[in-house]
Amino acid sequence: MGSDTSEVALDLFPYLKVYKDGTLERIAGVEVVPPGLDPQTNVLSKDILIVPQTGVSARIYRPNFVIKDQKLPFVVYFHGGAFCVASPAFPNYHNSLNKLVAEANIVALSVDYRLVPEHPLPTAYQDSWAALQWVASHKEEDGHHHEGWIKDYVDLDQVFLVGDSAGANIAHHLAFRIKESDLGQSFKILGIGMIHPYFWGTNPIGSETADGLRKELVDKWWLYVCPSDKGCDDPFINPFVDGSPDLAGLACHGILVIVAEKDILRDRGRFYYDKLVKSGWRGKAEIMENESEDHVFHIFNPDCDKAKSLMKRLAAFLNQGSGKGIVE
């Protein structure tokens, strides 16, 4: 017989286990790799502290060679992991960012927001917002606290938010927060890239109705990371419940929603796209579906043809530049 320390109180497959004595074991997303020069993509990265008060950091990436005086689009990236695992230093995310920066010729900042349960929601959103405020501060003249890579290589009029899974959810919420804040006057988001976005709801839609097992898993994940009386209809996870902001008010000019055919979250992503198109929002919405693939497959199988085509499509979206092809 095992003691309480070895008895699992909650198995949150495939992310973590909670034991009866309260200890936590993260199973996924725990490996880390250092930043530096990636010889395959010729992309440079380094870790920086961006919010000293909370210790929130980020990993920033740029091409090793940038043409003198060329200013590049800037991506603020939010990783996935159901709000409870992973980091920018997780090898799969580090690899993915190197590939994206090389493919799109951009500078990217991958935010290391704090995780549940040590830092309950809405901490992840607050940390991500603080990171965005830090980025926006680079538009101010006083430059002695500015990050050199942003100052030297970035066009702050070409800023995009990109995220996968929980990170796409974060990007959605930040786009409303910008509109409601003073930041929205000086700082514009050109577009949002949502890869396999993590939205959900109590009542099943589409393929969720036929896949009770996976629906139960997703319910379980969300109820763990956000225990509230609203359950899976909390506005953080369901953007269409009463009290959620109207999509017409989304503060960006373009959105690319990417869904995967075998992903249990697929129909939520499609629903989001359809709602956005019909909302009266004045931007340009695009959708891409990865056939025969599952959730964030490109993170775990980055060299397959479909992952490469996802990256190319995302890169094309980020290179629309200066409003070309994006409704102002």
Q: Is 295 a catalytic residue?
A: yes
- The DSSP code sequence of 14-32 is TTEEEETTS-EEE-SS---
Residue 273, C-beta contacts closer than 8 angstroms, at least 6 positions apart: 255, 257, 285, 287
Radius of gyration of the chain (CA): 19
Q: Which amino acid is at 188?
A: K
Distance separating the N- and C-terminal Cα atoms of the chain = 65
Instruction: Exactly one of 165, 173, 253, 298 is catalytic; name it.
Output: 165
Helix, strand or coil, per DSSP, at residue 94? helix
Q: Is 3 a catalytic residue?
A: no
Q: How would you label 207-232 residue by residue, b for 16+ Cβ within 10 Å and e otherwise?
A: bbeeeeeebeebbebbebbbeeeebb
Q: Is 322 a catalytic residue?
A: no
HSE toward the beta carbon, residue 164, CA cutoff 13 A:
25
Helix, strand or coil, per DSSP, at residue 78? strand
Per the omega criterion (within 30 degrees of 0), is the bond before 52 cis? no
Instruction: Exactly one of 79, 253, 295, 298 is catalytic; name it.
Output: 295
* Distance separating alpha carbons of residues 177 and 161, to the nearest angstrom: 13
Residues noted as catalytic: 165, 263, 295
